[in-house]
Amino acid sequence: MRYLTDRKRALGLGAAKSGTEHHWILIVTGVALAGLIPAFVLVFGRTLGGSHEEVVATFSRPFPALVALLTLWVGIYHFRKGAQTAIEDYTRGIRRTVLLIAMICVSYTAMAAGLYAVIRIAL
């Protein structure tokens, strides 16, 4: 017995209606991070151990600031989607709701703080 109609199979929609989209978001952000993390390590590694003025001068340039911004944004977004999947898969009831709300608040707060810090240095 088939549970999916031909139309749902073509659209990639299962019972939850969003599993394929969620999976693809994780795949795309993972591939993006595969390129961003080495670039971030190179940029950040050059400033490691430098004085405050050297770090500010490095991140005031467009390329290092853009690499840091994209790494923070994509990395924390990838974390949020992965943690959401884990919470949805392994918890139930009110604990699930509380954990999802807390995780979303923490991830968006970390993202906002990181982006604000890099933008503040860059400008």
Looking at residue 11, its pLDDT comes to 63
Q: What is the model's pTM?
A: 0.81
pLDDT in tens, 18-65: 667 888 999 999 999 999 999 999 999 999 999 999 999 999 999 999
Query: To which residue do tokens 């088939």 refer?
Result: 2
CATH architecture of the domain 6-122 equals Up-down Bundle (1.20)
Confidence of residue 8 (pLDDT cuts 50, 70, 90): low
Looking at residue 33, its pLDDT comes to 97
Q: What are phi and psi of 24, to 5 degrees?
A: -65, -35
Alpha helices of 62-92 — where are they, by DSSP H?
A: 62-90
Amino acid code (one letter) for 82: G
Domain range annotation of the chain: 6-122
Handedness of CA 56, 108, 22, 13 (dihedral sign): negative
Check whether 80 has a pLDDT greater than 90.
Answer: yes
Amino acid code (one letter) for 108: Y
